[in-house]
Structure 1
Amino acid sequence: MESFDPTRTLLLAARQASGSSSASASSSGSSDTKQGSSSVSAFLSTLIPIFVIACIIFGLFLFFQKKYDRVYGPRTFLQTLDKDEYSPKQSPGAFGWTKEFRELADEFVLGHSSLENYLFLRYFKTLVVISFVGCLITWPVLFPVNATGNAPNTSGFDILSFAHISDGARYWAHSLIGVIFFSFVMFVITREMLYYCYMRQAYLLSPYNSSKMSSKTVLFTDVPVEYRNVGAMEHIFPNAKYIWIAADPEDLEEHVKERDQASVKLEGAEMKLIGNYVKKQIKANKKNRGDSEDGRLREQESGSFDIAPKERPTHKLKPLIGKKVDTIDWSRGELHRLIPEVAREQAEKRDPKSNKLAAVFIEFDTIRDAQAAYQQVAHQTPFHMTPRDFGMPPEQVIWSNLNQPWWQRKMWSAFGTAFATFLCIFWTIPIAFAGIITNINYITDKVPFLAWIQDIPPQILGIVTGLIPVVLVAVMMALVPIFLSLVARQFLPTMPAVQAKVQRWYFPFQVVQVFLVTTFTSAATSVVTNIIDDPTSAPALLATNLPKASNFYIVYFVLNGLIAASLQFLNIVPLLFALFLGKILDTTPKKMYNRYVTLGGLGWGAFYPKMTLLGVIALSYSIIAPLVLGFATVGFALMYLGFRYNVLFTLGTTVDTKGDCYARALKQLITGLYISEICLIGLFAIGSAGNGLVSLGPLIIMIIMLIATVIWNMELSNALDKHSRILPCDLLADEYRDEDTEDVAEKGGATNGHSKKLGSATSTGLYQLPNSADPPAPPSGLVGKIKSFIFPTKFASAAVLSRYILSPFLTQPVRPYTEKEREEAYLHPALTAEVPIIWLARDPHGLSRREVGACRREIGEGIEVTDEEAWFNEQGRVEWDKTHPQKAPVWEDAPEY
């Protein structure tokens, strides 16, 4: 389950707080100061209620935090986690958690959670550093320059922005400070890209990760028919260790789905039957207390229960028009038919002679061999036997897409890109409409048919201009990543690839719709009457009012910093499930167990673009309205604290991209530099038209800066693109093996569609980073941290990070795989899917035991039905032993692939 993200609902909430006041600055065209921007008063009137709401939300967090450990601290006790994954137990008291929160370093997340979660926190810290240093660079110079300007119709926050400048000679300050700040941002992004490459190398080559089967496994797609056999693949890849040729499940996959659905129906119906009977008996016992125990004994002895046929669960085979059947009897009959049928088909599909998909998984002896195979051209025909992915665990494979031909995959990719582009254009209409609604009362004097709006009572008008746009934008923005994810899932072979594609598609949409459209529509709406009166003044008016639009983003950062951060602490979605949604939706012990033991995670493809957009906004306004950087610093810092709590104590990782989304987010952050530089070039150009040659120098400087940014961006990509995807050979050269556990190399025939060539189920191929010369320890103290920041190649290399930063947990390999786990690792799930266990809750009347026996008799062999480890309490509610989840019938010690 994804963490709740409220930022999209805050977009126009901020606009109604700031947009109306900034719009009034120029709507009348009067030069009177009274008509100027009232941004300070608007900000203060917004800050107070927002602060109060944030305090209430945080107060709710403090109230519920100790009552619901599963919501606010599952990583401190959840028994399904390894002991190395635990976070320290939180200290008692309302603020006791702050002790562990302060003491734990972010690097703790590397060994106890994941690289993904660590880099996500680091991304916020990077944004905080950029914004804070930006304040130190811009404020001492640009605040005095802007404040002493003499542009008319400016007041409040606007006097600290470019809008207060009318003298072209002052542009020199903006251009030179812009060069300094933009250069710093370029350095930080370069530094973080280097750090990411080094951290990725150290993390993936740690014994923990390099001992995983997936670290040495490559997925090939579009495999020609003649190569879909073990012998042919061994001929091409003689150093292959295991080969899994994906079997074509054909009808088996649908039959497994039908079997599992029948199991779910049976389990739900049995629980409904037992639960209703228990509640009925509780009511009867309250009326006849003396006879209750005797009646219970008679029921248990006779095995008969007073259940009318109409009290048994029923359902229709087809919606609305289907035949109504007894759910329990129908489900038992379906399972009786499907269980042996599925077992027979699974045995047939595991035969090496069965039909195969155009996909092959190959595990190699070493990571070096796997990387070599991943980078080589495997077939003479283009787009055939393509190495599609490397290092993906089997649970993140989208099996339905493995058999797609290359041309169909490319068509889907082109369609997805066109669809995302279409959304960027089409969504402009409703988003712009929502932006116009926020300032609708300022254009009624020039649009006669809207004059009736002025007659609307202020309270209702406030709802129209405030609530309706917020709801509209929230719904529209919520649908976009869902649409994009659905398209990506149609052709990409793995979940990390889906997240990466969604991130690529969704970020441009965020920039265009959430930033550019709302910014320019706000600026245009506020001066629309002036433009109608004098169309030739449009460029100058928009240039003047564009910096004033920063007032909206000042409020936006306050909203994100206070409301979004406090909601992260509250962890509202899991809390709602703990309070009442879980009681409604989780009606069986299995559903309760699954929700209890499963840690939620973030959807990186949809989440990173939203955070990156905030960074882009801060960079875009860094020079023309530097005050935004201050509020951005506070906003990012507060959001960092909120997400940090969840990463330390509540979140897991659902999709592992190995930090790929973090690297892409850093590259996408460069968009803010381009927007800022282009805006400055435009403002300088407009200013030079009215100020003569005095503005030409700043204009030339900014054009040169833009060209330098483009060149730097290209060189950065060329230099680090491969390093961010491929592990370097010098680090792979010092591979070692544990000779005690490495079997003698042997060649053998193929079984079950895969081949074992080298090693055994306990084989390990662990890596040790080059350590002949001890790497320097990261320097301590403030000066030391500055040195580490400036010289990442020396103090943040892979060897340094491996030795001094990575948790000792990562120095231990994963447990050895059993022979069965290795054989079935990359087989199609339909071939290995076991019959789901029917887990009922035991009742005091013996009805559950009767149903367990009836299920076993009518379904036959091949299914496990039990009512152990779950029970109905005295109030008729289902409970299970949460203190020992390993005792649950559905518990399994799954391997880490």
Structure 2
Amino acid sequence: MLLLCVPKPYRDEARLRKLYGDSAKRIFIPRTTKELANLVKEREETALRLEKAEIALIKKANAARNKFYRNNPQSAGVRRWFTTGRAIQTLNDQNTGNGKDMSSHNEMTTIDSGETVRQSNEPREAVLPDIQFLPEIELQDNVNDAEGGKNVPAHEEEEIKAEDLDYVHPYGLRPDLADVRGSVAAQWIPAEDRPHHRPIGNFGRRVDTIRWTRNRLKELNKEIFQLRRRIRRGEADPLPAAFIEFDTQEAAHAAQQVVVHHLPLQMAPGLLGIRPEEVIWESLRMKWWERIIRRLLILCGITAAIIFWSIPAAFVGLVSNIDYLTKEVPFLHWVNDLPSFVKGVIGGFLPPFALSVLMALVPIILRICAAQAGIPSLVIGELFTQNAYFAFQVVQVFLVTTITSAASGALQSIIENPLGIQSLLAQNLPKASNFYLSYILIQCLATGGTGILQAFSLIRHQIVAKTSDVPRTRFKTWHKLRPARWGGIFPVFTNMGVIALSYACIAPLILVFCAGGMAFMGLVWKYNLIYVFDTSTDSKGLFYPRALQQLIIGLYLAQICLIGLLILNKAYGPMGLVIALLLFTGLIHFLLRDAISRLMWNLPQTLALEEQIQEEEKIKLAANNDSGEANGNDAGGAAASYFDVEQAFGDEEEEAELEDTDEDDHHVVSNRGLEGAGNIRMALTAWVKSAAIEKFKTEADKYGINEYLRRAFAFLRNGDGEEPPGFLIRWLHPEEHEDFVALRKLLPQEERPPIAYKEGDKRATYEPPELWLPKPTLWIPRDEARVSRQEVAHTRLSTPISDLGAELSKSGRIVIDNIDAAPFEEHRLLL
């Protein structure tokens, strides 16, 4: 359970445990980590910049290498060496052909942008021009590395650790290659071509990206480690929130239903079933007054957006009436010259499609607003999005479009005859349903077809992923399934139901289109939920009942529409009946919502005992039946159980008569003339009923109606209780056949091992991610020039990195040959 707005005296584990008792298993009080969050975010961004720079360096070096070999096929096995000041060439006499004496002294060699390395005492050539070519020296006594295919000197084989086989100098190249930054890539590209950028903190001066990001990562790692240690010591202030884990589900729900604090808006609301990955940690720091102000401002902004969003929606409604626009707007006369098919597409297809695209941007904006309003959970944010997006849908897609579409067709007639507005609107409002027929077809059929084809996913997997130069992007593409964001899905189809209910009395044909479209979308979503979409949050089924409650808005609008049409046609008698029906619908809606609202969020305490009570009732019933059969009271068992022979009947009447005798005689009125009249009336009524029933049975048997009804009810009941009940019985008695106990038995009863957290697993605690996120892991492709080997060896001192599973092809494209070798951990929660 998550508690919000916890006052300072209760931000203590001991006091919270005293408040909730022994049922509180673990208590987590998060602390302020804003500075740490900024550092962790900067480290992630810096690591990604380093990864892109590494990939760019690898691609540049290999492109230069391949180009050189294409232009100089006779130089196969020869490598180039670039330096900033001079080039050093190590050659044997037989390779160079000159017999100069080589000096034997230590020499400082400048390699790759000014970094100096002292070379060993060995023969050196005199200073040569900037570009020289070095023959590749093959080692005779090398052992082949099975993993990476590189050669390692035999005398060093015993000194190599198992985990370092791929990254031991000289990376499968010349044994005298300097083990300094970029020495492998420097054989093919100069220092000026290395990735670089101009950070603001360096006053815009150019720096080498790889070197700068490595140093910055080392600094950030140190700062993050020190800050985490201070926070865990308790030096940071606690946030006004607390996570409490209980030993049982019943205890958690009991604690959630208790009013905890004596002041309003303190330690409330208590959110149940929330997991660490669902928490919006930025919202936990807000105080109660800040949360109220933010929510008020966000709601005002959404209301203003609903109003001003009607401008483009109204334009879409105007475009749907293309015949009127071509007549009244001069520069659109050319539309009349188009073929009828094209005009039909423009007037019938483009407006609904544009409206769908326009409304698709709204959920994204609403989710951002939900986070800014202080909503602490992603699930609650989706519910907030569902409510706000449904308001957008009803106002923009239905009301504004209906009014503009109907008014645009009758605008000229209204201007010419203002007094005839009643009859004109009455004639044109039903015609506006043509737009919604196209809208429902596009939303259901086109969206359903796209959902089956998964065109966007196809483009993402086959085009975007393959053209990406970052292996991390391909890993996310293939390992991350899209979640079903119900806050932006349910309102679209709920609004279709509202439109269908509203136009059911005006244009009943819309019911056929809506029913067919909904049936098709049901099949599509069944397929997608099983094979396409993924979920990482548990909504506890709250979206569907909320959509059902929102569907009642369609009844309100339908009745208001009928009232308006009846007023326009001056039918005041039926208008009064519909107004009474509108009031009755509102009353039923209020009572229904008040009855089930608490059951939506809270778990009733009786559910824990319901199954036990049902089992006890069955045992008692079986025991009574057995005792009745043993005593021989099969025929009269019901009467014997109904009448209690030990009960003294008539005593109450005698006592009442004794009390009446004390009263005065003038208060007693004799009616002996009417005595027995009630019994005669009851007897006559029973005789008439029995005679009518017998007559009906006789006629029903004569025409075979009884047999037909018996078979029909037997088909619906599916037997006498031994078999599962039929549809009619389940629909008439849901409290018996679809209650909690019956539905729980339908779930798979598989024994699963209890969830056990590993020791030191930070994901088992409710802490912000910045307190436990590990160092970012980089993934670069392996290349033939062996640049990636040296980059891995040097970069892993700053952050984890790997070049396994990805390769750079000869054409310069990155190929993922083993996606399972990606160095990223995937944690899956099985529900």
CA distance in structure 1 between the aligned counterparts of 2:319 and 2:436, rounded to whole angstroms: 18
Corresponding residue SS for 1:705: helix
CA distance in structure 1 between the aligned counterparts of 2:393 and 2:196, rounded to whole angstroms: 47
1:812-851 → structure 2 map (5 Å cutoff)? 812=752, 815-821=755-761, 824-851=764-791
**Could you tell me which of 701, 704, 713 is aligned with 2:580?**
704
* CA apart distance, 1:891: 2.1
Task: State the match for 1:478 in structure 2.
Answer: 360
8 Å Cα contact 1:222/1:359 also seen in 2: yes
When residues 470 and 801 of structure 1 are mapped into structure 2, their CA distance, relative to the original with a 3 A threshold, is closer
When residues 573 and 383 of structure 1 are mapped into structure 2, their CA distance, relative to the original with a 3 A threshold, is same
**Could you tell me which of 589, 612, 616 is aligned with 2:494?**
612
Task: State the match for 1:659 in structure 2.
Answer: 541
**Could you tell me which of 529, 533, 554 is aligned with 1:647?**
529
CA distance in structure 2 between the aligned counterparts of 1:821 and 1:375, rounded to whole angstroms: 31
1:798 aligns with 2:740: yes
**Could you tell me which of 799, 817, 822 is aligned with 1:888?**
822
- Given residue 14 of structure 2, which amino acid in structure 1 is its aligned partner? G
1:807 aligns with 2:748: yes
- Given residue 852 of structure 1, which amino acid in structure 2 is its aligned partner? V
Deviation per CA, 1:810-867: give whole Å up to 9, x if none. Answer: x53563222433775201111111111222222233211101112135x3xxx32222
When residues 276 and 456 of structure 1 are mapped into structure 2, their CA distance, relative to the original with a 3 A threshold, is same
CA distance in structure 2 between the aligned counterparts of 1:567 and 1:867, rounded to whole angstroms: 37
Tell me which moved more, 517-526 or 474-483.
Answer: 474-483
8 Å Cα contact 1:841/1:848 also seen in 2: yes
Identity of aligned residues (%): 34
Task: State the match for 1:3 in structure 2.
Answer: none
8 Å Cα contact 2:805/2:818 also seen in 1: no
* CA apart distance, 1:289: 5.6
CA distance in structure 2 between the aligned counterparts of 1:636 and 1:368, rounded to whole angstroms: 38
Corresponding residue SS for 1:307: coil
* CA apart distance, 1:791: 3.1
1:418 aligns with 2:300: yes
Task: State the match for 1:48 in structure 2.
Answer: none
When residues 290 and 770 of structure 1 are mapped into structure 2, their CA distance, relative to the original with a 3 A threshold, is farther
CA distance in structure 2 between the aligned counterparts of 1:443 and 1:588, rounded to whole angstroms: 50
Tell me which moved more, 607-616 or 426-435.
Answer: 426-435
When residues 783 and 807 of structure 1 are mapped into structure 2, their CA distance, relative to the original with a 3 A threshold, is closer
* CA apart distance, 1:475: 5.5
**Could you tell me which of 300, 304, 317 is aligned with 2:173?**
300
Between 1 and 2, higher relative CO (CA 8 Å, sep ≥ 6) is seen in 1
Corresponding residue SS for 1:357: coil
CA distance in structure 1 between the aligned counterparts of 2:811 and 2:718, rounded to whole angstroms: 61
Task: State the match for 2:404 in structure 1.
Answer: 521
Task: State the match for 1:629 in structure 2.
Answer: 511
1:357 aligns with 2:245: no
When residues 452 and 895 of structure 1 are mapped into structure 2, their CA distance, relative to the original with a 3 A threshold, is closer
CA distance in structure 1 between the aligned counterparts of 2:446 and 2:828, rounded to whole angstroms: 39
* CA apart distance, 1:438: 3.5
CA distance in structure 2 between the aligned counterparts of 1:564 and 1:455, rounded to whole angstroms: 32
8 Å Cα contact 2:725/2:737 also seen in 1: no
**Could you tell me which of 420, 424, 439 is aligned with 1:556?**
439
Task: State the match for 2:332 in structure 1.
Answer: 453
- Given residue 731 of structure 1, which amino acid in structure 2 is its aligned partner? L
1:713 aligns with 2:589: yes
When residues 876 and 456 of structure 1 are mapped into structure 2, their CA distance, relative to the original with a 3 A threshold, is closer
**Could you tell me which of 713, 717, 730 is aligned with 1:788?**
730
- Given residue 637 of structure 1, which amino acid in structure 2 is its aligned partner? A
* CA apart distance, 1:713: 0.9
- Given residue 59 of structure 2, which amino acid in structure 1 is its aligned partner? G
1:871 aligns with 2:655: no
Task: State the match for 1:750 in structure 2.
Answer: none
8 Å Cα contact 1:420/1:506 also seen in 2: no
Task: State the match for 1:232 in structure 2.
Answer: 15
CA distance in structure 1 between the aligned counterparts of 2:383 and 2:12, rounded to whole angstroms: 32
CA distance in structure 1 between the aligned counterparts of 2:613 and 2:791, rounded to whole angstroms: 58
* CA apart distance, 1:387: 3.3
**Could you tell me which of 317, 342, 347 is aligned with 2:229?**
347
Tell me which moved more, 463-472 or 831-840.
Answer: 463-472
8 Å Cα contact 1:560/1:639 also seen in 2: no
1:512 aligns with 2:395: yes
Corresponding residue SS for 2:25: strand
Listed as ranges, the gaps of 5+ residues in structure 1 are 1-217, 690-694, 736-767
Task: State the match for 2:50 in structure 1.
Answer: 266
CA distance in structure 1 between the aligned counterparts of 2:315 and 2:829, rounded to whole angstroms: 52
1:754-773 → structure 2 map (5 Å cutoff)? none
- Given residue 888 of structure 1, which amino acid in structure 2 is its aligned partner? A
Task: State the match for 1:583 in structure 2.
Answer: 466
Deviation per CA, 1:183-207: give whole Å up to 9, x if none. Answer: xxxxxxxxxxxxxxxxxxxxxxxxx
When residues 320 and 793 of structure 1 are mapped into structure 2, their CA distance, relative to the original with a 3 A threshold, is farther
* CA apart distance, 1:715: 1.7
- Given residue 430 of structure 2, which amino acid in structure 1 is its aligned partner? P
When residues 882 and 550 of structure 1 are mapped into structure 2, their CA distance, relative to the original with a 3 A threshold, is farther
CA distance in structure 2 between the aligned counterparts of 1:896 and 1:637, rounded to whole angstroms: 30
8 Å Cα contact 1:223/1:384 also seen in 2: yes
Listed as ranges, the gaps of 5+ residues in structure 2 are 80-134, 138-171, 178-182, 620-715
Task: State the match for 2:709 in structure 1.
Answer: none
Corresponding residue SS for 1:419: helix
8 Å Cα contact 1:221/1:403 also seen in 2: no
1:236-255 → structure 2 map (5 Å cutoff)? 236-239=19-22, 240-255=24-39
TM-score between both structures, scaled by the size of structure 2: 0.70
1:547 aligns with 2:423: no
CA distance in structure 2 between the aligned counterparts of 1:726 and 1:770, rounded to whole angstroms: 22
Equivalent pairs counted in the alignment come to: 629
* CA apart distance, 1:319: 12
CA distance in structure 2 between the aligned counterparts of 1:319 and 1:600, rounded to whole angstroms: 38
1:534 aligns with 2:417: yes
Task: State the match for 1:335 in structure 2.
Answer: 217
CA distance in structure 2 between the aligned counterparts of 1:774 and 1:547, rounded to whole angstroms: 58
1:501 aligns with 2:384: yes
Tell me which moved more, 543-552 or 664-673.
Answer: 543-552
Tell me which moved more, 840-849 or 453-462.
Answer: 453-462
- Given residue 375 of structure 2, which amino acid in structure 1 is its aligned partner? L
8 Å Cα contact 2:806/2:818 also seen in 1: no
When residues 779 and 252 of structure 1 are mapped into structure 2, their CA distance, relative to the original with a 3 A threshold, is farther
8 Å Cα contact 1:274/1:843 also seen in 2: yes
CA distance in structure 1 between the aligned counterparts of 2:202 and 2:490, rounded to whole angstroms: 43
8 Å Cα contact 1:420/1:509 also seen in 2: no
* CA apart distance, 1:457: 6.1
CA distance in structure 2 between the aligned counterparts of 1:354 and 1:673, rounded to whole angstroms: 54
1:271-290 → structure 2 map (5 Å cutoff)? 271-286=55-70
